[in-house]
Chain A
Amino acid sequence: MFRTKTKVGRLPAEPGWWAFVAGDLVMFGILFATFVYYRALSPQVYERAQTQLSTPLGLLNTLLLLTGSLFVAQAVSAFKHKSDRSFMLFVAGLGTGVAFVGVKVVEWGSKLAHGITPLTNEFFMFYFTFTGIHLVHVVVGMGMLLVIALKAKGGVFADEDRVFVEIGGIFWHLVDLIWIVLFPLIYLTR
């Protein structure tokens, strides 16, 4: 969007990292397609089960991740401009991750309290598996944000840290964009 392409583009992070991102995107693409396939085989089961999800909590988590992505994009930019704001912005991004995990614990806890587990039916098997794999991504992303926040803390903004900062930023946005598809697919559409 707002395309203003320069003549020679600069690849953020490094090529190997984009290969990983591509692999992750393909994996989730296959998982999402598998879900849609099985949903089409027994739509009534999925529709009934979906009504037991908390859409407001899913929405809240979407808003948290989008806001976290804003903070992290600004933090990476601030790092490149050697701005002291970088550290606090990374910490704010990390804060949205903590809040996401908190909401997810409440959501899963409420399901389990009502006796809903991955074994309840096919829909909930997909629900727990997809949100679980995504949650692992969130936690790994938080670890990366913590490390790069500390790199931004010293006020050195070393050039050799720049690639790692970009890698962490891109991973956090990947976590966000997977959820951007996962949320409407599982919570909103039938």
Chain B
Amino acid sequence: MRFFVVWLLLIAATLASFAIGEDVKASPVTTAIILAIAIVKVRFVIQEFMEVRAAPLLLSIATDLWAAVLWVALVAIPYLV
């Protein structure tokens, strides 16, 4: 049941980011939002499906760090070029 709820949230988030990508005029803000939705989805997959939430805390911290650094990099790099 828990996996099913997570899956529903992931599907809803996917459709939301698709709608933003298709319907909203592209801008740095929409890009940041769409990528933020992706990072939240990634965290759900890691924590729930990969069962990291029940694993040693260090693994949670390491995967969260990767996701956070990735989001910052993808959003910030265009401003540094």
Contacts and interface: CB of A to CB of B under 8 A. Distances in A.
Interface in A1-22: 1-6, 8-12, 18, 22
Contacts of A69: 7, 10, 45, 49
B77 A181 contact: no
Contact of A26 (B31, B38, B66): B66
Contacts of A62: 14
B70 to A, nearest CB: 5
Secondary structure at the B interface, as helix, strand, loop or mixed, is helix
Contact of B74 (A47, A63, A77, A185): A185
Contacts, number: 138
Nearest to B63: A25
Interface of B: 2-4, 6-7, 10-11, 14, 17-18, 20-22, 26, 30-31, 34-35, 37-39, 41-57, 59, 62-63, 66, 69-70, 73-74, 77-78, 81
Contact of A188 (B6, B21, B53, B63): B21
Interface of A: 1-6, 8-12, 18, 22, 25-26, 29, 32-33, 36-37, 39-41, 47, 55, 59, 62-63, 66-67, 69-70, 72-74, 77, 169-170, 173-174, 176-177, 180-181, 183-185, 187-190
